[in-house]
C-alpha cells in the first residue's frame, strides 16, 4: 500500500512538473498527503516527503492563490553536521570496514545527505555531491551491498536536485545513468520500485528540457 501511494505521488508530481496545470498540482498535493499519512514518524524519508509537500502547497498558493494548511514538519530533532565534520568523524573512528559503523552513524550520514535535497546554495550542493561520491567510493571497499544501494540512489537524487538548481544537463544525465544502472543489479531488486520512481522524475525533467 505504501509503495503504491509513493508511486502515485511521484507520477502526480511528474505530471504537474511537465504540464504545470493547477488541477495537476492539486492532485500532486493530494497524493503526497496520502503517502505522508502512511509513513511512520521514524521513517528516515518522512522529512523529505514533508518538505516536498510544503513546497507544493506554497507553490499552489503563490502561483494560483489556493491556500492550504501546511503540514507539521516531523523532521525530528537532529543536529546535522557539516560534510567536513562527517569526514573527520570517519577518520577519527579509523573505519576500515564500513560495516563497523553503527545504525546511528548510518542514520546521521543518510540524513545529512538527504538534507541536501532542500538546499539551493550552489557551493553547498557541490560539496554535498563531492562528499557523497567520496563516501560511496570508500563504501565500495566493503562487502555491504545494502548501504551501497541506498547511497547510490541518494547520489542519483542529489544529482537530479543539483540539475534543478544549476540547470546543467550533465547532472541530469548522470542521475539517469545511475538509476538505470541500479535496475540492472539483481540483488538490488528490493529498492527497484523506488529507483523507478526517481527514474521517472529524471526522464520527465529531460523530456521537459529537450521539449520533445
Could you please report the per-residue DSSP string of 158-193? HHHHHHHHH--HHHHHHHHHHHHHHHT-GGGGGGHH
Give the Cα separation of 55 and 59 in Å (integer).
Answer: 6
What integer pLDDT is reported at residue 115 of this predicted model? 73
The model's pTM is 0.62
Give the Cα separation of 156 and 202 in Å (integer).
Answer: 9
Burial (CB < 10 A; 0-12, 13-18, 19+), residue 28, is buried
Domain with CATH 1.25.40 in the chain: 78-212
CATH of domain 78-212: 1.25.40
Tens digit of pLDDT per residue, the chain (212 long)?
666 777 777 777 777 777 777 888 888 888 877 777 777 655 656 666 776 777 777 777 766 666 565 554 444 434 455 655 665 555 554 444 455 566 666 667 777 777 777 777 888 888 888 888 877 877 765 555 777 888 899 899 999 989 988 989 999 999 999 999 999 988 888 888 889 989 998 999 998 888 76
Under 8 Å between Cβ of 110 and 154: yes
Crossing angle for the helix pair 2-19 and 192-210, to the nearest 10 degrees: 0
Burial 32-46 (b: 16+ CB within 10 A, else e): bbbbbeebeeeeeeb
Amino acid at each position: 500500500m505504501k509503495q503504491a501511494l509513493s508511486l502515485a505521488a511521484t507520477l502526480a508530481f511528474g505530471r504537474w512538473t511537465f504540464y504545470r496545470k493547477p488541477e495537476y498540482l492539486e492532485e500532486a498535493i493530494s497524493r503526497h498527503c496520502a503517502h505522508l499519512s502512511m509513513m511512520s514518524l521514524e521513517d528516515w524519508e518522512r522529512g523529505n516527503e514533508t518538505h516536498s509537500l510544503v513546497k507544493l502547497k506554497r507553490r499552489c498558493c503563490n502561483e494560483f492563490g489556493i491556500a492550504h494548511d501546511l503540514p507539521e514538519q516531523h523532521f525530528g530533532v537532529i543536529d546535522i553536521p557539516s560534510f567536513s565534520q562527517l569526514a573527520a568523524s570517519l577518520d577519527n573512528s579509523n573505519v576500515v570496514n564500513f560495516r563497523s559503523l553503527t545504525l546511528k552513524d548510518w542514520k546521521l550520514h543518510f540524513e545529512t545527505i538527504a538534507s541536501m535535497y532542500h538546499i539551493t546554495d550552489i557551493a553547498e550542493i557541490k560539496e554535498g555531491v563531492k562528499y557523497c561520491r567520496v563516501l560511496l567510493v570508500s563504501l565500495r571497499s566493503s562487502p555491504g551491498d545494502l548501504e551501497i544501494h541506498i547511497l547510490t540512489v541518494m547520489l542519483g537524487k542529489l544529482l537530479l536536485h543539483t540539475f534543478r538548481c544549476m540547470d546543467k544537463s550533465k547532472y541530469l544525465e548522470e542521475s539517469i545513468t545511475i538509476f538505470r544502472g541500479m535496475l540492472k543489479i539483481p540483488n538490488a531488486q528490493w529498492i527497484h520500485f523506488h529507483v523507478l520512481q526517481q527514474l521517472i522524475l529524471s526522464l520527465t525533467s529531460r523530456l521537459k528540457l529537450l521539449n520533445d
